[in-house]
């Protein structure tokens, strides 16, 4: 099967849905296609049944499926086509897509613009190197979330969780509410990347201890996990301190140790990548190094709030529509956006010289700062300053710049 479309959106999560909708709103006559490998659109939100989504975007607190449901309902009112159960295998630098589905077999799609919205996946044990046997009962927290919330299957009864990211915290409460006993949450760092609210309402509410500067040093059990041993680490070297081991009898170990953007397709197309975000390098329109290929959502950089995902996706969708309507416009010159002195990364990584109007730059700090002061400079000139009582690595921050004042490369840095 062969298809020609104006815009192909790869991934039907919140990013893909919002990008397609915004492109359609800008140019309703365009032929827009969303390609999603799952049975239904909605992405990871379908399994995030807790609330706390949409406070910024909709002004109310929704659960994940409710948030996704609003976008899906909007998309269904439009001419946007959604192909589900269809997996994209390849993208090339001329925006040709190769996909496969049980129904249609191999599908070749040629698109005038492509929006990458493939989301992210969780780091697994392989990326971690925990010694001991390799029994059943070790899951990523997100995998357990899917099993419990969508398949109605409980992965275990006595649980140890490694990592205190939000997904791990949410699953600690979820498993408890489904009748399991969560023994402990071990966190390698001296702080949690999860929200305070989740630490309080998921752990403290259920009397689950959270141990900072701790990691898993052994997993025992032949066929199924029988025990997990954790130990305190030296905060400087992260090496376990002998003699601090504690063993918990349990049948399940959940890993909540971070997310990585899912960029096999992006890499395959030869898109220039950012080493820190593990996502594409983009400009202020969210265009990658390949003209007509845009990226947004977790595939670009890991977001903690879906509201930010939707906003970024709207921008990418609008840019894709403008690209198709206006034809390829060669950007003459870019100014780069550099993150230094405590700022871990900034998106977009570059801004075209003819950009104008207000422009949001998203960034993350590498450490907790209280109080925090961020300064944006263009050469010697200070473009913007942002002060906050606190900035932490777990929360994405935003600063608004006036693009007309950007006359050269800019730098974001933390100051005392």
Closest CA to 272 of 285, 262, 263, 281: 281
Nearer to ligand FAD, 50 or 335 (CB): 50
**Could you tell me how many residues of this chain bind another protein (CB under 8 A)?**
31
Are the C-beta atoms of 410 and 378 separated by less than 8 Å? yes
Q: Is 101 in the site for another protein (CB under 8 A)?
A: no
To which residue do tokens 């489904």 refer? 178
Could you say which of 31, 63, 101, 338 contacts another protein (CB under 8 A)?
63
Reading the block at residue 9, the tokens are 């959106």
| Cα 204 to chain centroid, rounded | 26
Could you say which of 8, 91, 109, 148 contacts another protein (CB under 8 A)?
148
Question: Can you tell me the distance from the alpha carbon of 342 to that of 263, in angstroms, rounded to the nearest whole number?
Answer: 26
> Which value, in Å, is the radius of gyration of the alpha carbons in the chain?
22
Contact pattern from residue 384 through residue 413 relative to another protein, giving x for each residue in contact according to CB under 8 A and a dash for the rest:
-----xx-x--x------------------
How many CB atoms within 10 Å of residue 161? 31
Could you say which of 31, 58, 69, 247 contacts another protein (CB under 8 A)?
69
Instruction: Name the phi and psi angles at 43, rounded to 5.
Output: 65, -150
- Residue 8 binds which entry of ligand FAD, another protein, none, with Cβ cut-offs from 5 to 8 Å by kind? none
Q: How many residues does the chain have?
A: 416
- Residue 395 binds which entry of another protein, ligand FAD, none, with Cβ cut-offs from 5 to 8 Å by kind? another protein
Q: Is 66 in the site for another protein (CB under 8 A)?
A: yes
| DSSP class of 290 | S
- β-partners of residue 136 are 224
Nearer to ligand FAD, 37 or 70 (CB): 37
Could you say which of 204, 222, 235, 385 contacts another protein (CB under 8 A)?
204
Q: Which residues bind ligand FAD (CB under 6 A)?
A: 10-16, 35-38, 43-45, 48, 53, 87-88, 117-120, 122, 142, 145, 166-167, 170, 259, 262, 265, 297-299, 303-306, 309
- Residue 118 binds which entry of another protein, ligand FAD, none, with Cβ cut-offs from 5 to 8 Å by kind? ligand FAD
- β-partners of residue 378 are 381, 410
Could you say which of 105, 152, 242, 243 contacts another protein (CB under 8 A)?
152
167 to 50, 235, 237, 304: CA distances (angstroms):
10, 24, 26, 10
Q: Is 174 in the site for another protein (CB under 8 A)?
A: yes
Ranges within 106-145 binding another protein (CB under 8 A): none
CA dihedral sign of residues 398, 400, 403, 405: negative
Interacting residues toward another protein by CB under 8 A: 46, 49-51, 61-63, 65-66, 69, 148-152, 174, 177-178, 195-197, 199-201, 204-205, 370, 389-390, 392, 395
């Amino acid at each position: 099967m062969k298809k020609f479309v104006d815009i192909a959106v790869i991934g039907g999560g919140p990013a893909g849905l919002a990008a397609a909708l915004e492109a359609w709103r800008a140019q309703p006559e365009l032929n827009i296609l969303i390609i999603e490998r799952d049975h239904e659109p909605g992405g990871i939100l379908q399994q995030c049944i807790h609330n706390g989504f949409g406070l910024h975007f909709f002004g109310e607190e929704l659960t994940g499926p409710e948030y996704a449901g609003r976008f899906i309902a909007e998309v269904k009112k439009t001419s946007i086509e959604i192909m589900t159960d269809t997996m994209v295998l390849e993208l090339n630098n001329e925006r040709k897509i190769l996909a496969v589905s049980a129904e249609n077999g191999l599908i070749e799609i040629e698109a005038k613009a492509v929006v990458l919205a493939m989301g992210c996946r969780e780091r697994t044990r392989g990326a971690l190197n925990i010694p001991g046997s390799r029994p059943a009962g070790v899951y990523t927290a997100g995998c357990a979330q899917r099993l419990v919330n969508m398949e109605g299957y409980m992965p275990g009864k006595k649980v140890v969780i490694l990592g205190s990211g939000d997904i791990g915290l949410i699953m600690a409460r979820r498993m408890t509410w489904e009748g399991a006993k969560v023994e402990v949450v071990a966190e390698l760092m001296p702080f949690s990347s999860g929200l305070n609210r989740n630490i309080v309402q998921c752990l403290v509410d259920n009397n689950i201890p959270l141990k900072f500067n701790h990691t898993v040093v052994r997993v025992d059990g032949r066929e199924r996990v029988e025990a997990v041993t954790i130990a305190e680490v030296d905060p400087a070297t992260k090496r376990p301190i002998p003699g601090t081991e504690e063993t918990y009898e349990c049948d399940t170990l959940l890993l909540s140790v971070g997310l990585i953007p899912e960029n096999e397709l992006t890499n395959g197309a030869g898109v220039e990548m950012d080493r820190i975000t593990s996502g594409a390098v983009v400009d202020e329109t969210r265009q990658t190094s390949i003209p007509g290929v845009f990226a947004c959502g977790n595939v670009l950089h890991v977001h903690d709030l879906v509201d930010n995902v939707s906003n970024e996706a709207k921008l990418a969708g609008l840019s894709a529509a403008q690209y198709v309507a206006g034809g390829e416009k060669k950007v003459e010159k870019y100014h780069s956006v550099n993150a230094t002195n405590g700022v871990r990364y900034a998106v977009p990584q570059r801004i075209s010289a003819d950009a104008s109007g207000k422009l949001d730059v998203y960034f993350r700090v590498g450490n907790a700062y209280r109080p925090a002061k961020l300064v944006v400079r263009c050469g010697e000139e200070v473009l913007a300053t942002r002060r906050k009582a606190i900035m932490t690595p777990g929360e994405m921050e935003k600063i608004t710049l006036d693009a007309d004042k950007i006359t050269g490369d800019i730098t974001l840095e933390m100051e005392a």
